[in-house]
Amino acid sequence: MGIESSFFDKVFFQGLVSALFGMGSALLIFYLTLKSDKDKEAKKNREANKNRIRHFSNLANSSIDHIETIISNLNEIIEKYETDELTFQLLPFSPNKSLERIEKLLKNENYFLAYVEEFGDEKVKTFNNISFEIDFFIMQVEQIWEMIKASQKFDHERKMNFNKQVTELMNSTASITKQSNILSVEDNEKIGTMIKDFYDNFTNGTDLEYFYKFIRKVLEEVLINYTENQTVLEMLPQFRGVSTLFVEIKAQNSYHKEDLKGIVEQLSNTLKNFKEDIKE
């Protein structure tokens, strides 16, 4: 009985050891597998974060190119206004959508976490600065287009009014030459020659200065000597109206030019800060 008990105890102990060893092996394999999976997941996340940072960096550089292009185009417009304040200048359209794309990334938590993992918690403020700068760029670009659209509309309406007033004044001037009791024969012929020269050299219906110079020439070389005549006297407000409108059109584009200079300065300052922030 003692021998059987000892035998069974030994068998039981060996079975227990085998079972425990098998369980330990299974737990070890489970642990190693779990650790391997976690390592793979961590590596996958690190690679994903690096890809996010790489994508973020590419869009940041593309955004810089976009803003630099806008600044360059605005400077070209400003330069043209320096020599020609009558022709309204349009801003070339840029199809670059990097600002909108990077704005979406900045609102994505995964990109924020990737940024923090890559650069550390102390760079959270820099991340926020980048967000503010992108918001400013988007807002400023939208305002530029709105401002140019409104200014162009106002400029067009004034020029249409100018053309209307000039046409009426030219018709009134031509009408005077048909009345023998207003101008001398010599001055009548002089205005007739002016009108002929005007149409002979006419090339561009949008050249306001060409119209303006003709109107001023008629007034200053001929009609100014007949202000005692009621018909001529009644035309003087028309001449004054055309002159005032011409000056206002140029002045408005001059104000517009100064507004653009202010925008260029703001964009340039913010762009400088943006470049510094994305380098950190």
Q: Is 222 exposed, middle or buried (0-12, 13-18, 19+ CB in 10 A)?
A: buried
- Given this model, what pLDDT does residue 20 score? 47
pLDDT at 279: 83
pLDDT tens column, 166-184: 999 999 999 998 888 899 9
CA distance 193 to 217: 12
With a cut of 50, which residues of the chain have pLDDT below it?
7, 12, 16-17, 20
Q: Which tokens go with 61? A: 């550089």
Q: For residues 228 and 39, is the Cβ–Cβ distance under 8 A?
A: no
Q: From CA 177, how far away is CA 189, in angstroms rounded? A: 8
pLDDT at 47: 82
* Rounded-to-integer distance, Cα 41 and Cα 39, Å: 5
Query: What is the rounded CA–CA span in Å between residue 229 and residue 119?
Result: 84
Q: What is the pLDDT of residue 206?
A: 85
Residue 199 burial (CB < 10 Å; 0-12/13-18/19+)?
exposed
Considering the entire predicted model, what is its pTM? 0.80
Around Cβ 177, how many Cβ atoms within 10 Å? 18
pLDDT of residue 123: 87
- Give the pLDDT of residue 26: 58
Rounded distance, CA 118 to CA 102, Å? 18
